Amino acid sequence: MGFCREESCGKCVPCRAGTVQLHDLLRKHLGRRATAADLVQLESLCHMVADTSLCGLGQSAPRPVLSALRHFRGDFLALLQPGASAAP
């Protein structure tokens, strides 16, 4: 996501701001500071960026994250703060 954030041309807001927010949310997960709400926001933001970006970069940037969420959701859940519950 860091690559996509840096390579965004900045012409459309979904890609320009969305890739920054996605990167920040992923770093929050890796730092074990994320909550269940952050996981929901991550998935929602991925769909929004993919659906509303004007170029191929913005449309494809969230695809690896969505794939990881689909296939490795348990790993994301394991990174949530202790005591945080996740929506199914």
pLDDT at residue 10 in the model: 87
Copy the structure tokens of residue 17.
Answer: 């701001």
User: What predicted TM-score, i.e. pTM, was given to this entire model?
Assistant: 0.85
Distance, CA of 66 to CA of 7 (rounded, Å)? 20
pLDDT tens digit sequence for 21-49: 999 999 999 999 999 999 999 999 999 99
Give me the helix-helix angle, 13-30 and 36-52, nearest 10°. 150
Copy the structure tokens of residue 11.
Answer: 């012409």
Q: What domains does the chain contain, in order, with CATH numbers?
A: 2-78 (1.20.1440.230)
H-state helical runs in 1-88: 2-7, 13-30, 36-52, 56-60, 63-71, 73-78
Q: What is the mean pLDDT of the chain?
A: 90
